[in-house]
Amino acid sequence: MQDNTNTPLPLRNDTILGVCEAIGEDFGFNPNFLRIALCVLVIWSPMVSFAIYFGLGAFVAASRLLFPDRGSSSAPSVTEHGRAANSDESVKIAA
């Protein structure tokens, strides 16, 4: 499986501009709900759905440029805590 954590959303192979995933990420819901709604809208009115999609894409791009990477670098990663808990030094001290 490909590691998509460092690749920007618009450049990933499994998304089209990454609009639905970015909105789902920002608002905390599953992006498939938005994808389903847009697919239903494509059946009803393709031109309106494409306009909405690219409008949302412009909004997401502007928000990501104005507010880049909100606080993810300040939070410690899980792997750092995992290494500290599983290191040999902690086992020797406990023994």
State how far the Cα of 28 lies from the Cα of 77, in Å rounded to an integer: 20
State how far the Cα of 72 lies from the Cα of 34, in Å rounded to an integer: 24
Exposed, middle or buried: residue 22 (CB in 10 Å: 0-12, 13-18, 19+)?
A: buried
Residue 13, domain extent:
1-70
Q: Is residue 87 part of a domain?
A: no
Q: Closest Cα partner for 53 from 27, 21, 7?
A: 21
Number of compact structural domains in the chain = 1
Exposed, middle or buried: residue 21 (CB in 10 Å: 0-12, 13-18, 19+)?
A: buried
Could you list the pLDDT tens digit for every one of the 95 residues in the chain?
455 567 666 666 666 778 888 888 888 889 889 989 999 999 999 999 999 999 998 998 888 888 887 555 544 455 555 555 555 555 556 55
Q: Is residue 81 part of a domain?
A: no
Q: Is residue 60 part of a domain?
A: yes
